[in-house]
């Protein structure tokens, strides 16, 4: 992104809503290694390029299922 890094966007959005689902899509595996210092669950929320539509669908479904499970536990 030209004016903001993905990490900065992630932090700003998490400050607004800590329960917001987020997914990084990148071709830069070294960048993700750097993010591991700040985001414990990074491997759960990253998709590496090139991606297949099925990979994206599976990642989104996985994130939604995990969030739904957490919500059911909290209820």
Dihedral angle computed from the Cα positions of residues 37, 25, 5 and 39, in that order, rounded to the nearest 10 degrees: -20
Query: Does pTM surpass 0.75?
Result: no
Q: How many residues would you count in the chain?
A: 75
Q: Over the Cα atoms of the chain, what is R_g?
A: 13
Q: What is the pLDDT of residues 15-70, one digit of tens each?
A: 999 888 888 888 888 877 777 777 767 767 788 889 899 989 998 898 888 877 76
Domain locations in the chain as residue ranges: 6-74
């Amino acid at each position: 992104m030209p004016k903001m890094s993905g990490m900065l966007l992630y932090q700003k959005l998490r400050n607004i809503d800590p329960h917001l689902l987020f997914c990084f899509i990148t071709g830069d595996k070294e960048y993700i290694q750097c993010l591991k210092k700040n985001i414990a669950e990074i491997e759960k929320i990253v998709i590496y390029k090139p991606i297949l539509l099925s990979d994206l669908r599976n990642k989104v479904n996985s994130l939604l299922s995990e969030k739904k499970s957490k919500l059911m536990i909290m209820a």
